[in-house]
Chains A and B, each alone.
Chain A
Amino acid sequence: MIDLNTGNEIKALYKLVEIKGGKRIEKFKTPDIKRALRFHKWYVARYRQGLLMEILPEKKVYDWKEKKVNYQFE
């Protein structure tokens, strides 16, 4: 993923989620987009069922108690 303002690459987590009966079942989670797409292709070929891809970019969170910067996937 690319930051629109700076053009820098942002780390992100790619989650593939199955939606079934109103429930979300997480099938696969990886920081590598290529692996995520490969899994998607394999899953579709195997089960003939699509998945929803959720992209969670990494976000800077400041911890006021510890007074340090943490990174977490949103």
Chain B
Amino acid sequence: MLGVPMGIPLFQAVEKYPECIYISANHYNYTKISKQVMAILKEVSPNVEIYSIDEAFVDFTGLTKLYKKNYFQLARDLQKRILEEVDIPVSIGVSRTKTLAKLASDKAKNTSTRVALVGKHSINHLLEHTDIQEVWGIGRKLGVRLRGLGVRTALDYINRDEKWIKQRFGKNGLSVKAELSGIIVSPVSSKEELPKSISDTKSFPEFSSDLQFLKNELSIHIHSCCTRLRKIDCKCAVIGVLLKTKDFRTLYEKIQLKTPTNFEFEISREAFPLLEKMFSSSELYRSVGIVLEDFRENTEEQLLLFNDNEKKEQNEKLGKSLDILEKKFGRNIVRTGFVNKDVPFKQGFLTSPQDVE
């Protein structure tokens, strides 16, 4: 273990730990592998909650009877299958609730089989050796506060009185306690919820104070966000533009739209004035980004009386055609609202989007 802290900027890491090999990220590849793993999980159990790109909760309830195996063997088989089919080692924690399973999976990383089973009788033993900050739902600040109150381990926490917890940490504190004691508060749910916001931003290869360049970069981000919006069949009603200066100052402006949209031209028509409002030619900028919020599903849309609905339909068709074109010929084959032709393609992504399906 070299002890490289999480989230350290690259230029600092390169100076501090030169022996490491730093490889540029390939998010398409990660998404691809993640989708393969999730597909296997969905084959094993009907109830799978995808928590993040590398984490998922699988409901094993009742599967012991179906596969005629115990929980430990089920997890082992799943792990073996993922290793054989995707060639990725995974660690699995099996327990009664999601919080306990997460703790068990952390524990599993240090075992030889990389599978940890925490049953009814071993919960207390696990909690006794778990620092309160490691518990899911308790962050750094809350952890420090709990330590001040004399709660060091997870076992200390569940031994506290419910009234004491409710007074200090409210309802969330109680649900953490219940989950740690083995009572399910948030069950595994495979229902995918709409995201609260979609954003896209990337640092420039070099600092820039050229408005035209900034606009082009913003167009790329707008386009990528719109593609994602259309994929989940939604429209957004709030647009925010993010601008970061060289010295890490962040400027943010947002606007509420009269009619929700998921079309590039309509979004950029609102976003460019916001960018111009924040922009100053005497400043150097490191990144620009877009944040789309307040999503409405396409089906629940309210039509306005004085709006040009015919044009709106045309726009929707155009947006869909853009997506089809990109799917067929690759990312950024069509670019919207570009001023210069010699602007580089979106950087950082190495493989083509056709692979991720």
Contact = CB atoms under 8 A, between A and B. Distances in A.
Interface of A: 4-5, 19-20, 22-24, 37, 40, 44, 48-57, 59, 62, 74
B17 A50 contact: yes
Contacts of A54: 23-24
Given A4-B33, A50-B14, A55 B19 contact: no
Interface of B: 10-11, 13-15, 17-24, 26, 29, 32-33, 36, 205-207, 246, 286, 329, 350-352, 355
Contacts of A56: 350
Given A22-B207, A22-B286, A49 B15 contact: yes
Nearest to A15: B24
A50 B352 contact: no
B246 A55 contact: no
B21 A23 contact: no
A48 B11 contact: no
Instruction: Enumerate the 5 nearest inter-chain pairs by beta-carbon distance, A residue then B residue, closest first.
Output: A50-B14, A50-B18, A54-B24, A52-B22, A44-B18
Contacts of B350: 55-57, 74
Contacts of A49: 14-15, 18
A5 B352 CA distance: 14
A19 B20 CA distance: 15
Given A24-B205, A74-B351, 17 more contacts: A4-B32, A19-B10, A19-B11, A22-B246, A23-B206, A24-B206, A37-B21, A40-B21, A50-B13, A50-B15, A50-B19, A50-B22, A51-B22, A52-B14, A52-B23, A55-B350, A56-B350
Nearest to A54: B24
A24 B62 CA distance: 55
Contacts of B13: 50
A52 B18 contact: no
Contacts of B286: 22
A55 B14 contact: no
Nearest to A14: B23
A71 B206 CA distance: 28
Contacts of A59: 352
A11 to B, nearest CB: 13
A43 to B, nearest CB: 9
B14 A19 contact: yes
A52 B206 contact: no
A49 B13 CA distance: 10
A4 B29 contact: yes
A56 B349 CA distance: 9
28 contacts: A4-B29, A4-B36, A5-B355, A19-B10, A22-B206, A24-B206, A37-B21, A40-B21, A44-B18, A44-B19, A48-B18, A49-B15, A49-B18, A50-B19, A52-B10, A52-B22, A52-B24, A53-B22, A53-B23, A54-B23, A55-B23, A55-B26, A55-B350, A57-B350, A57-B351, A59-B352, A62-B329, A74-B350
Contacts of B15: 49-50
A8 to B, nearest CB: 14
B12 to A, nearest CB: 10
Contacts of B205: 24
A24 to B, nearest CB: 6
Nearest to A60: B352
Contacts of B20: 50
Nearest to B24: A54
A67 B17 CA distance: 48
Contacts of A4: 29, 32-33, 36
Nearest to B355: A5
Which of B10, B18, B20 is the most central at the interface, judged by chain A CB atoms within 10 Å of its CB?
A: B18
Contacts of B14: 19, 49-52
Nearest to B205: A24
B18 A53 contact: no
A6 to B, nearest CB: 11
